[in-house]
Amino acid sequence: MRLPPSIANAIWRGTELEHRTTAARPTGWAELDAELPGGGWPEQSVVEILSAQPAVLEWRLLAPALQAVVQKGDQVVVVGPPRNPHLPGLQYMGLSERQFVWIQAEQPAQRLWTTEQLIKSKAAGAVIAWLPKARAEQLRRLQVCAQGCEGLVFLCRPEAARHESSAAPLRVHASVGSDWELNAHILKRRGPIHDRPLALPSIPGGLASVLTPRLRRLTRPAVPEVSHAVGRPVDPIRPQHATA
The CATH number of whichever domain residue 96 belongs to comes to 3.40.50.300
Contact 101, 64 (CB under 8 A): no
Contact 57, 37 (CB under 8 A): no
Collapsed DSSP state (helix, strand, coil) of residue 230: strand
Domain contains 197: no
Number of domains in the chain: 1
Domain contains 235: yes
d(CA 153, CA 236) in angstroms, rounded, equals: 25
Alpha helices by DSSP H, listed for the chain, are: 5-8, 30-33, 57-71, 87-92, 108-121, 136-146
CA-CA-CA-CA torsion sign (75, 199, 231, 229)? negative
Look at residue 124 in the predicted model and tell me its pLDDT.
Answer: 96
CA distances from 112 to 29, 50, 134, 138, 140 (A): 29, 17, 8, 8, 12
DSSP 8-state secondary structure symbol assigned to residue 83: S
The DSSP element (H or E) to which 196 belongs, if any, is: none
Domain contains 24: yes
Domain contains 103: yes
Round to the nearest angstrom and report the end-to-end CA distance of the chain: 57
Look at residue 226 in the predicted model and tell me its pLDDT.
Answer: 45
Domain contains 203: no
Look at residue 223 in the predicted model and tell me its pLDDT.
Answer: 47
Look at residue 94 in the predicted model and tell me its pLDDT.
Answer: 82
Domain contains 9: no
In terms of residue numbers, what domain contains 158?
20-38+50-174+223-243
Domain contains 209: no
pLDDT < 50: residue spans in the chain? 10, 221-227, 233-244
Domain contains 121: yes
Look at residue 6 in the predicted model and tell me its pLDDT.
Answer: 57
Report the half-sphere exposure of 117 (CA within 13 A, side-chain side): 10
| Phi, psi angles (nearest 5°) of residue 32 | -75, -45
Look at residue 209 in the predicted model and tell me its pLDDT.
Answer: 59
